Amino acid sequence: MATILSARTRRSDDEVKKLWKDYRAHPEREDLRNALVEHYLPLVRYNAERIWARLPDGVELDDLMSAGVFGLMDAIDAFDLERGVKFETYCVPRIRGAILDELRTLDWVPRLVRSKASKLAEATSTLETKLGRQPNETELAEFMGISVRELEKMKQDASAVNVISLDKKWYETDSYKDVREIDILEDKKGEDPTRRIQKKDLMRLVTKGLNRNERLIIILYYYEELTMREIGATLDLSESRVSQMHSSIMERLQEQLRRRRPEFGT
């Protein structure tokens, strides 16, 4: 594929006609088909670039070119020389169709969602121009002829359209590797590894010297956030018994901490 995409061989009309006749006589010859692909490759690039120019960042031109080449190959295989139609006219819809099919596989946002997002953006822009300010939800819903609740649902659906590629370049560096979106993206749900270690050490310190049931009560209550009743059901104890054991454990732990306070410098 890389060899095909890099080729820029141009042939005269007579040479192209001969190439077509030879290929139809010997369709099994890959070299003849590749020669035709090389000749019509500028059509692929032209159509891929026109589509790519209207797309958001994150879509690679090479991906569209590759899809277009497959469309060109299908057109070459299906083209009938006897129909009197120029191949350029016949193949362009095939090339564009293959590129658009590739875009559909890359785009996970349903067409209906995109339509809603476009309508919402258009209505917002119209009202901003009319009012000279950002419209509120009530004004926007009234303008669109829907309820505020329906507007909120539409906004929620439309937010799915605003996606970016994690491979998109964030900024260039002096090194060989540019910084990408994924390199600077913060995982707000991820647990700080230092905090996880501290939490583990604290749990080991707190539960030291406790028997099995006492240790489980502390872990289930403070770390798993179970209720006294749920802990009782887990340990086959009554809720009141769990509460009594918890109070006793707390008293002992407080006494331990008082004795060890000098170790913490307090």
What is the CATH classification number for the domain harbouring 162?
A: 1.20.140.160
Do 86 and 21 share a domain, yes or no? yes
Most confident residue range from 68-72, 79-83, 96-100 = 68-72
For residue 64, pLDDT beyond 60: yes
Q: Is 200 a member of any domain?
A: yes
Do 31 and 66 share a domain, yes or no? yes
Predicted TM-score (pTM) of the model is: 0.41
Of 67, 82, 106, which marks where a domain is finished? 106
Of 106, 126, 149, which marks where a domain is finished? 106
Q: Is 96 a member of any domain?
A: yes
Q: Is 186 a member of any domain?
A: no
Q: Is 182 a member of any domain?
A: no
Do 21 and 98 share a domain, yes or no? yes
pLDDT tier at 172, thresholds 50, 70, 90 = very low
Secondary structure string (H, E, C) spanning the chain:
CHHHHHCCCCCCHHHHHHHHHHHHHCCCCHHHHHHHHHHHHHHHHHHHHHHHCCCCCCCCHHHHHHHHHHHHHHHHHHCCHHHCCCHHHHHHHHHHHHHHHHHHHHCCCCHHHHHHHHHHHHHHHHHHHHHCCCCCHHHHHHHHCCCHHHHHHHHHHHHHHCCCCCCCEEECCCCCCCEEHHHHCCCCCCCCHHHHHHHHHHHHHHHCCCCHHHHHHHHHHHHCCCCHHHHHHHHCCCHHHHHHHHHHHHHHHHHHHHHHHHHHCC
Q: Is 188 a member of any domain?
A: no
Do 27 and 73 share a domain, yes or no? yes
Do 253 and 212 share a domain, yes or no? yes
The rounded distance, in Å, linking the Cα atoms of 263 and 86 is 89
Instruction: Note the pLDDT of residue 124.
Output: 86
Residues 6+ apart with CB under 8 A from 114: 161
Q: Is 178 a member of any domain?
A: no
Instruction: Note the pLDDT of residue 148.
Output: 85
For residue 44, pLDDT beyond 90: yes
Which residue type occupies 219? Answer: I
Indicate the average pLDDT of the chain.
76
Instruction: Look at 196 and 211; give whichever has higher pLDDT.
Output: 211
Mean per-residue pLDDT, 103-125: 70
Which residue type occupies 13? Answer: D
For residue 173, pLDDT beyond 50: no
Residues 6+ apart with CB under 8 A from 221: 228, 231, 246
Count of domains observed in the chain: 3
Do 125 and 52 share a domain, yes or no? no
Instruction: Look at 260 and 143; give whichever has higher pLDDT.
Output: 143
**Structural domain for 55, as ranges:** 2-106
The rounded distance, in Å, linking the Cα atoms of 216 and 143 is 59
Mean per-residue pLDDT, 150-167: 64
Instruction: Note the pLDDT of residue 191.
Output: 58
Instruction: Note the pLDDT of residue 114.
Output: 64
pLDDT tier at 6, thresholds 50, 70, 90 = very low
Residue 46 Cα to chain centre, angstroms? 28
Task: Render the burial of 156-189: b for 16+ CB within 10 Å, e for the rest.
Answer: ebbeebeeeeeeeeeeeeeeeeeeeeeeeeeeee
Do 117 and 102 share a domain, yes or no? no
Do 101 and 14 share a domain, yes or no? yes
Mean per-residue pLDDT, 123-148: 86
pLDDT tier at 244, thresholds 50, 70, 90 = very high
Do 124 and 95 share a domain, yes or no? no
Instruction: Note the pLDDT of residue 256.
Output: 74
Looking up residue 20, the CATH number of its domain turns out to be 1.10.1740.10
Of 121, 150, 166, which marks where a domain is finished? 166
Q: Is 27 a member of any domain?
A: yes
Do 235 and 256 share a domain, yes or no? yes
